[in-house]
Amino acid sequence: MAKRTTKSSSLNPDPNPETEQLAPLPAQAESTDPSGPYSRLTEFDIYLFRAGKHTRLYEKLGSHVVEVNGVVGTYFAVWAPSARYVAVIGNFNGWNKGSHPLNVRWDSSGIWEGFVPHIGRGEVYKYAITHTSGRELEKGDPFALWWETPPKTASVVWDDWYEWKDDYWMRNRGKFNALNKPISVYEIHLNSWRRDPSEPARQLSYNEVADALVPYVKELGFTHVEFMPVMEHPYDPSWGYQITGYFAPTSRFGTPQDFMRMIERLHQENIGVYLDWVPSHFPNDAHGLYEFDGSNLYEHPDPRKGYHPDWKSYIFNYGRNEVRAFLLSNALFWLDRFHADGLRVDAVASMLYLDYSRNHGEWEPNVFGGRENLEAISLFKELNEAVYKDFPEVQMIAEESTAFPGVTRPAYTGGLGFGMKWMMGWMNDTLRYFQRDSYYRRWHQDELTFSTVYAFSENFMLPFSHDEVVYGKKALISKMPGDEWQRFANLRLLFTYMFTHPGTKLLFMGCEFGQTSEWKFDGSLDWHLLDYAPHQGMKECMKALNRLYRNEPALYEQSFVAEGFEWIDTMDRENSIIVYARKGTRTKEQIVIALNMTPIPRTDYRIGVPVPGTWVELFNSDNSAFFGSGLVNPNPLVSEPQEWHGRSASIELTIPPLGAVVLKYQNN
């Protein structure tokens, strides 16, 4: 290998004649930079970067339009410690590798930097990198704020300045985004939520989507939206989960400012925005992070830790400090510059376990002989502490599918520090139950009741996400048994159970109106279905459920503690009926829910109630406005002093076929 000189001439290192000869470096033009040395990095920045503690690297690395000594140009800085030569190439210099070399810093940080005068916003560029072995690469900028639209692969000099007009939301979002408030999330894939009906192949812009999305979400009553990954990615079938541009919203739909405007418009309607964030893996595209400087820079060098067998992608090296700083900075970037109200962290389980999707002998135990990835665990703790320190009103949500303990417990108590965790067990058990023919449900009541055994061990979010309506799993409505009427009744019943069960809610787009086909990432939802009564009824039911959830403190004030839930009856297996109560912090905030899992109406059905007095029907999933049969209860329902279900008072009511009844106590 060649010796690295420490002089400013290290861009042309003198090869050691006793070792292999390296390929010659590109001929370099004489510098025309009139500004002299310039850097955005301080010694403290370098210290934090090398210690893995820097959380604002996006202010330092990447490309930044600046004025230096009266000259306007662009400052470039990139981490490439295994490079012996780095230059900026682009249209401005005819992609000449020798035209604009960067200088390697003297402090052994591995950062190369330089100022290129007279170029600015909109300039297309890449980094030409020569590894110490002589291998040559052309890479996009890991910190680029915008990229060319795929299949083009270059970065674009841009900025993240935006004059935000969401002050009310930002001042008050703690009131909307707290764990004791209603959180009902509408999950969206931007590329396929809606297309131009007159030109179905055309993707709508951020602005066009916002024109339709903002009023639609407001009408439906969801409190938040969650965007599947919007970060730049080269491959549409990855759904955005194979990212190359971690600091840039995809250019498919417009500029970063266009995406900011979409978020702003949602905030102006008091709708929060969560973003899918993917720190678990990245693809091996030639212009991306993989072997960025010719070495395993961002990915772990050991394939047992650095290669994901399921997704054929590469795993970050969570033990490398500079990589940790990259990920910490990226998470805070979206909360800081894009006003995101939280991050849903993808594939947490794949990061927590060294043996995830690996057979015996394909993984290496940790220093204690266990299967836990200690480096990833410490990263999660540090990440969540950093996020909640700077942005205490946001939510960090873990997509974690195992029983790993303490995911939503504070890091100082040994937990990972997330705000919420997806309740995957509830989702699997519930869908398994609802897919059964109603005749057989009597023998599987425990699939519904088991969730409360562990419901308060974490702060759970109940998800019916994109993963449940793709790859042969069928649309939610198509999972339901029976004829058309029964399928829609079952789906309304399922959603009522979801919205009255402890936990926050997440529903994938299209499920709210009974999309009949599986999700297609490259086409629009089937909006024409809303021309038909069953689907319009399903949408009206979802509106009513969101309204019920938002308006009734008993359904959200105590979602994560056992005091907010009480089983009334789980033993009527023969009729497949379950009854339970939800409770707010005040005695009068009490709700009773009765679910009938069969197509047989149950009239004069007696249930015990927690408090004697007057009860009123707030919601009935069989309402004719929802395409139901209209078998509802008269109001009010006055309890009788007849002991039932272990309670001193009880009422008689009608529970409609495949229906749910929600009653509220009225304080006389």
H/E stretch holding 398: strand 395-398
Map tokens 């194979």 to a residue.
242
The token duo for 154 is 């270059």
H/E stretch holding 272: strand 272-277
For 116-140, b/e burial (b = at least 16 CB within 10 A) is bbebbeebbbbbbbbbbebbebebb
Q: Do the beta carbons of residue 299 and residue 328 sit within 8 Å?
A: no
Catalytic residue among 264, 299, 341, 346: 346
Q: Do the beta carbons of residue 455 and residue 419 sit within 8 Å?
A: no
The Cα angle at residue 91 between residues 90 and 96, in degrees rounded to 5: 55
Map tokens 């319009």 to a residue.
536
User: How far apart are the C-alpha atoms of 67 and 64, rounded to whole Å?
Assistant: 10
The token duo for 126 is 């890449």
The dihedral built from the CA positions of residue 51, 56, 60 and 61, taken in this order, carries a sign that is: positive
Map tokens 């417990």 to a residue.
409
Cα–Cα separations (whole angstroms), residue 456 to 261, 348, 430, 503:
37, 20, 17, 9
Is 399 catalytic? The answer is yes
User: How far apart are the C-alpha atoms of 144 and 187, rounded to whole Å?
Assistant: 26
Whether cis (ω within 30° of 0) applies to the bond prior to 151 is yes
Catalytic residue among 123, 393, 399, 400: 399
With a CB cutoff of 8 Å and minimum separation 6, the contacts of 389 are: none
User: How far apart are the C-alpha atoms of 288 and 140, rounded to whole Å?
Assistant: 6
Is 43 catalytic? The answer is no
Partner residues linked to 617 by β-bridges:
663
Residues annotated as catalytic (active site), given as ranges: 346, 399
